[in-house]
Structure 1
C-alpha cells in the first residue's frame, strides 16, 4: 500500500484556518454581550485595548514562526521550549480544553438558535438539544478521520460562506444606522449610570478574548505549512480582517437599538438587530448564517484540538498512544479523546443555567495561560538575544511587542476574575494525570523540584475552586 503524500497548506488555507477558528459563535452574540455591560464609548475603548493587545500577540506568533522555525504546533511548543516540560504540558492541556469548550459553546448556540422555532431545544441545554448535538459531534468526528487535508479544504469553503451573511448584516445595518440612537448609547444610558468606564470595559474583556481565540490557528498547524513565512503572514491577515468585522458589528448595533434593548436580545443577538432594520427575514437570514459559521468553526477547532494532543505526545509530554495516526495520517487517538471530552461537557450543560455564557467565559479563562506563556517566551528570546545572534535586526521592536503582549495577557487574568481562574485550575489539576503517565512511561521523574512547586500551586487553587463549588460560593 502506498503511503499518502505529505499534506501541505498554502497561505490561503492557513489564513482560512485563522479566520475559520476566530469567526464562530462569538461574533453573532456581540450586540447582546456588549450591550449587557457597556455603551458605545466603553466598546470603543475595549476594542482598542483588545485589538492592540491581540495585535501584539499576532506579531509575537509571526516573530516566533520566523525565529524558531523548528518548533511546530506553536502554542504548546513555545511554552515547553521557554519554560520546561510541565508548563508546556499545561499550555497544551489548556489549549486542548479551550478547543473542546469552544466546540460545546457552538453546539449550545446552534440549538439555542433553533430553539426559537423548535421549543424542544430551549436555550440549547435541554435533553433533546444535547442528543442532537451529540449526533453532530460524532458525524464530524468520522468525517475528519477520512483525512485532515479534506477537512481543511472544506473549512476553507465554509469560511468563505460564513463571511457572506456577516457582510450582508453590515450593509443593511449600516443603512439603518441612526445617529441619535448611537448618541444615546454612547455613555451607556439607563441602567449603567453608576458604572464607571473602567468597570464597563472590564466587563467586556473575557468576551473579547473569546472572539479572538483562534488567532494562533496557523501556528498550531505550522507543520503543514508549505512555506514557514506563511504562518506569520496568515496570522496577521486573518487577525486584521476579523478585527474589522468585530468592531463594525458591535458599533453599528449601537446605532439601531437602545442599549437596554440590545442587552435583552436573545442570542444570536445579531439576528434581533437585523430584524429591527429589515423585519423577520433578517433574523432568519442571520440564524442560517450562524449555523453555517458555527459548523465551520467547529470543524476548525476539532482539527486544532487533535493536533495539539498529537504534537504534545510526539514531544513526550502526553501519553504515547495520543501520537498514533491512521492510514490517512489523522491523529485518531487524539481525535477520539477530544470528542469524548466534548461529549462529557455537552452532558454537563444540562446542569448549567446559562450554558453558553459559562462556556464562553471558561473558554476565555482557559486560553489565558497558553497566551501568557507564548508572549513570555517571545519576551525571553528578545531579552536574552537568543535567535538574534545572526539576525539582530528588529530585536528592540520585538522586545516591545512581546512585552506589551505579556502585559496584556497578564492583565486579562485580572480582568477575568478569581472565579474563572479557580474553575480553570479545577481542570488543570486533574488533567496533570496525563503528564504523569507520559513521564512514567518514558522512565522520567514526574516533576522537577520547580515543577512540583508549580503543581502544588495549581492543586491548591483547584481545591479552593472545588470548595467554592461545593459551598455555593462559586456557581455555574
Structure 2
C-alpha cells in the first residue's frame, strides 16, 4: 500500500485486514485482558506522588480541586483518543509511537518513541527515589547511608524487572494485586474521610499568595504529573487481547477510576487536616488517619506500607512500558541498536529491554546517591520527564486532529490537542529548550535507523512530516493563527 493510501485506513475503523488472523505466537503474547489492562493503567497512574498531592493542592487553595477536575476531564479525553487511534491505526504496537509514525512518518515515530523511552526510564528513577523513604520507614531504617539508600532503591527497581522477565502473565497478576492493595485503603480515606471533614479546615479559595492564575498553575502542575500513565494500555497494545476494543476501554476505565480516587481522597484530606498544617505536611495521609482515628498510633506505618505497595506496583507497570516502547520501535528499525531491544525469549518477553529499563535508572541513582554533581543531573532528568512526555502526547493529539480535520470535524480534535497543553513551553524559554534536548540527542541516531529501514526494502510508514504538517494546517479553518 502506498504511503498516501496508508495515511488513513478504511472508513470502518478496522484498518487493514489480516487474512489469516493473529498467529499462535501473537495470541500467546496477548496475555492481558481488559481487567488487567485497566489495572495496568491505574497502577501506572497512581504511584507514590498521590501521597503528597493533598499538601501541594492545599498550597493552591480549594480552587485546586476544580483544577484537578478539569485536568481529569482532559485526561479522559486523551484516554478516549488513545482508544480511537488504536482502532484506526492498522499496526498500533507501541501506542503513541505507532500513531505518530502512521500519520506523520518514520521520523515522527522515531522522535516519539525516543522521547517517551527517555521519560519512562528516567521517571522510574524518580518513582523509586520517592519510594525509598517509605520503605525505610516501614522497616525502621534510621539515618541510612548513601549505600543503604542505593541498596533499597535496587530492591524497588529489580523486583519489578524480575517479575517482568518471568512473563507478561506474572507481571499482570502482580499488577492486579498491588492495585487492589493500594486502591482500597486510599478509597477508604476518600469515602470514610468525608464523615470527619470540618469546613473550617479548608483553606481559602486561592491560598497561593498570588493571583488566581498562579493558584491554577500550581494545581495544574501536580495534576498533569499525576495523570501521566493514561497511555500505558496503548503502549502495550501488543500484549492486550483484542486491543482495538480493550485498549480504549481500559484507558477510560483506569483514568476515570484514578480521577475519582484523586478527587475523593484529596478533598477528604484537605477537610480532615487543618489547612495551616497541611501545606507543610510531608505525610498528609498519615496525619489524616491520625485525626480520623485518634487511637491509631500505627497510622504512619500503615500509610507508609500502602506507599511501598503503590510504588512497587507503579514500577512494575512502568518497567513493562519502558521495554515495550523500545521493542516496538526496534522491530521497525526505528530505535538505536534495534537487534538488542527487539530480542525476545520463547515467551515473547523483550527481556533485554527489561534489563536495560532497570540498568539505566540504577546507574542514574548510583550517581545521584554518591556524588554532588550526580544529584544535579538527577534533578534535571526528573524535571525533564514531565516536559519530555509532552512531545509524544502532542504527536498523538495531532495525529487525531489531522484525521478529524480531514473530515471537517475540527472541534473535538482541537479539544484533544489542547488537553495536554498549558502554554508553558513557549519557544525560547528554558522549558521549551528542555523539551527538545532529548530529541536533539537522539536525532543523529535516527539517520542510522533510516538507513537500516531502507535496507529492508520496505517503504517508509506514512507521509513525510512536512507533507502531513501541511495537510493538517491547511485543513484548519482560517489557517494557522
User: Which of the five TM-score ranges fits, normalised by the shorter chain?
Assistant: 0.7 to 0.9
CA shift for structure 1 position 40: 0.4
**Equivalent position of 1:91 in the other structure:** 112
Please say if 1:422 is aligned against 2:433: yes
TM-score, normalising length: structure 2? 0.81
Preserved CA contact (<8 Å) 1:108 1:355: no
Which runs of structure 2 are paired with 1:61-460 in the superposition (5 Å)? 61-116=82-137, 117-121=140-144, 126-182=146-202, 185-189=203-207, 192-193=208-209, 195-227=210-242, 228-266=244-282, 268-279=283-294, 280-318=297-335, 319-321=337-339, 322-350=341-369, 351=372, 361-385=383-407, 396=409, 399-411=410-422, 413-414=424-425, 418-442=429-453
Gaps of 5+ in 1: 386-394, 455-476
Q: Residues of 2 paired with 1:159 and 1:315: CA distance? A: 33
- Alpha-carbon distance in structure 2 between the residues aligned to 1:231 and 1:4: 16
The whole-number CA distance in structure 2 between the counterparts of 1:129 and 1:434 is 35
Deviation at residue 11 of structure 1 after TM alignment? 1.3
When normalised by structure 1's length, the TM-score is: 0.81
Task: Write the distance in 2 (CA, Å) between the matches of 1:449 and 1:70.
Answer: 18
Within 2, Cα distance between the matches of 1:245 and 1:341?
32
| CA drift at 1:209 | 1.7
1:121: Cα distance to partner?
A: 4.0
State the Cα distance separating 1:412 from its structure 2 match. Answer: 5.3
Cα distance in 2, alignment partners of residues 306 and 358 from structure 1: 23
Tell me how far 1:115 sits from its aligned partner: 4.7
Q: Distance in 2 between matches of 1:428 and 1:442?
A: 20
Q: Alpha carbons of 1:31 and 1:121: their partners in 2 closer, same or farther (altered >3 Å)?
A: farther
Contact 1:120–1:128 (Cα < 8 Å) also in 2 = no
TM-aligned CA deviation for residue 12 of structure 1: 0.8
Q: Verify the 8 A CA contact 1:32 1:265 in the aligned structure 2.
A: yes
- Match 1:24 to one of 39, 47, 67: 47
Inter-partner Cα distance in structure 2 for 1:169 and 1:307: 34
Post-superposition offset of 1:450: 6.9
In the alignment, the residues of structure 1 paired with residue 252 and residue 286 of structure 2 have an alpha-carbon distance, to the nearest angstrom, of: 29
Question: By how many angstroms is 1:66 displaced?
Answer: 2.4
Aligned partners of 2:221 and 2:425: how far apart in 1?
A: 10
- CA 1:422–1:119 in 2, change beyond 3 Å: closer, same or farther? farther
CA deviations 1:71-123 (Å, max 9, x no partner) are: 2221111111122222221211222122212221221122122455433348x
CA distance in 2 between counterparts of 1:442 and 1:232 reads: 30
5+ residue gaps, structure 2: 1-23, 470-481
Deviations 1:189-248 (A, max 9, x none): 4xx33x111111112223112211111121112122222211111111111111001111
Deviation, structure 1 residue 5: 6.4
Q: Determine whether 1:33 maps to 2:56.
A: yes
